[in-house]
Structure 1
Amino acid sequence: MSSKVICIVLGGGQGSRLFPLTATRSKPAVPIAGKYRLVDIPISNCINSGIERIYVLTQFNSASLNKHIKNTYHFSVFSESFVDILAAEQTPHNTTWFQGTADAVRQSLHHLAPHEFDYVLILSGDQLYQMDFCKMIDEHEAKGAEISIATIPVDEADSAGFGILKTDENQMITSFIEKPKKDMLPGWDSEVSDEMKSQGRIYLASMGIYIFNRKTLYELLEGNTRTDFGKEIIPQSIGTHKILSYQYEGYWTDIGSIPSFFDANLGLTDEIPQFNLFDKRSIFSRARMLPPSKLSGTSLHNAMISDGCIIHAAHISRSVIGIRTRIGVGTTILNTYVMGNDYYQNLEQIEEYKLQNKPLMGVGERCYINNAILDKNCYIGNDVKINGGSHLEDGDFGTYTVTEGIIVVKKNAVIQSGTII
Structure 2
Amino acid sequence: MAVAPRILVIILAGGEGKRLLPLTNDRAKPAVPFGGSYRLIDFALSNFANAGYLKIVVLTQYKSHSLDRHISQTWRFSTLLGNYVTPVPAQMRRGPYWFLGSADAIYQNLNLIGDERPDHVCVFGADHIYRMDPRQMVEAHVESGAGVTVAAIPVPRAEAKAFGVIESDADGRIIGFHEKVDEPPSMPGDETRCLASMGNYVFETQTLVDVVTPPGVDQQRTDIGGDVIPALTREGVARVYDFSTNDVPGQDEHERGYWRDVGTLDAYYAANMDLVAPVPEFNLYNDAWPVLTDQPPLPPAKISRGPGGEPASVGASLLCQGSIVSGAHVERSIVGPGSYVDHDAHVVDSILFPGVRVAPGARLHRCVIDKNVVVPAGYRIGLDPEHDAERFTISDWGIAVVEKDRTLEHP
- Relative to the length of structure 2, the TM-score reads 0.90
Cα deviations across residues 128-185 of structure 1 (Å, max 9, x unaligned)?
000000111111111111110000111234212211122112111111111102xx33
Match among 363, 366, 370 for residue 371 of structure 1: 366
Aligned to 1:208: 199
Q: 1:324-363 maps to which residues of 2 (within 5 A)?
A: 324-341=338-355, 362-363=357-358
Alignment partner of 1:381 is 2:372: no
Q: Secondary structure at the match of 1:102?
A: helix
* Structure 1 residue 251: Cα displacement: 0.1
Match among 283, 297, 302 for residue 289 of structure 1: 297
Aligned to 1:348: none
Q: Return the letter of the residue paired with 1:71.
A: Q
Match among 309, 318, 334 for residue 320 of structure 1: 334
- State how far apart, in whole Å, the 2-side matches of 1:313 and 1:3 are: 56
Alignment partner of 1:310 is 2:324: yes
- State how far apart, in whole Å, the 2-side matches of 1:315 and 1:114 are: 55
Q: 1:151-166 maps to which residues of 2 (within 5 A)?
A: 151-166=152-167
Alignment partner of 1:236 is 2:231: yes
Cα deviations across residues 377-405 of structure 1 (Å, max 9, x unaligned)?
0011100111158x44996x56x311121
- State how far apart, in whole Å, the 2-side matches of 1:135 and 1:65 are: 28
Q: Identify unmatched segments of 5+ residues in structure 2.
A: 245-256, 305-310
* Structure 1 residue 3: Cα displacement: 5.7
Q: Return the letter of the residue paired with 1:111.
A: L
Alignment partner of 1:221 is 2:217: no
Cα deviations across residues 249-272 of structure 1 (Å, max 9, x unaligned)?
210010100000001111100112
- State how far apart, in whole Å, the 2-side matches of 1:3 and 1:81 are: 15
Alignment check: 8 A CA contact 2:370 2:405 kept: yes
Q: Return the letter of the residue paired with 2:63.
A: N
Alignment check: 8 A CA contact 1:12 1:124 kept: no
* Structure 1 residue 12: Cα displacement: 3.5
- State how far apart, in whole Å, the 1-side matches of 2:316 and 2:189 are: 33
- State how far apart, in whole Å, the 1-side matches of 2:262 and 2:100 are: 21
Alignment check: 8 A CA contact 1:392 1:402 kept: no
* Structure 1 residue 192: Cα displacement: 6.5
Alignment check: 8 A CA contact 2:7 2:122 kept: yes
Cα pair distance change 1:383/1:205, threshold 3 Å: same
Cα pair distance change 1:2/1:114, threshold 3 Å: farther
Alignment check: 8 A CA contact 1:167 1:245 kept: yes
* Structure 1 residue 90: Cα displacement: 2.5
Alignment check: 8 A CA contact 1:147 1:241 kept: no
- State how far apart, in whole Å, the 1-side matches of 2:285 and 2:189 are: 28
Cα deviations across residues 98-128 of structure 1 (Å, max 9, x unaligned)?
0001001111111221113111101111100
Alignment check: 8 A CA contact 2:41 2:126 kept: yes
Match among 389, 393, 403 for residue 401 of structure 1: 393
Q: Secondary structure at the match of 2:108?
A: helix
Aligned identity (percent) is 32
Alignment check: 8 A CA contact 1:388 1:407 kept: no
- State how far apart, in whole Å, the 2-side matches of 1:21 and 1:375 are: 7
- Relative to the length of structure 1, the TM-score reads 0.88
Q: Return the letter of the residue paired with 1:406.
A: I
- State how far apart, in whole Å, the 2-side matches of 1:118 and 1:111 are: 13
Cα deviations across residues 362-383 of structure 1 (Å, max 9, x unaligned)?
1100111000000010011100
Q: Return the letter of the residue paired with 1:189.
A: S
* Structure 1 residue 287: Cα displacement: 2.6
Cα pair distance change 1:369/1:237, threshold 3 Å: same
Q: Return the letter of the residue paired with 2:406.
A: A
- State how far apart, in whole Å, the 2-side matches of 1:2 and 1:33 are: 35
Cα deviations across residues 180-225 of structure 1 (Å, max 9, x unaligned)?
02xx33xx111368xxx8xx4x111110000000010011011341
- Greater than 2 Å deviation, 4+ residue runs: 391-395
Q: Secondary structure at the match of 1:114?
A: helix
* Structure 1 residue 410: Cα displacement: 0.8
Cα deviations across residues 274-314 of structure 1 (Å, max 9, x unaligned)?
21111121111113111101111321111000000121143
Q: Identify unmatched segments of 5+ residues in structure 1.
A: 342-360
Alignment check: 8 A CA contact 1:313 1:332 kept: no
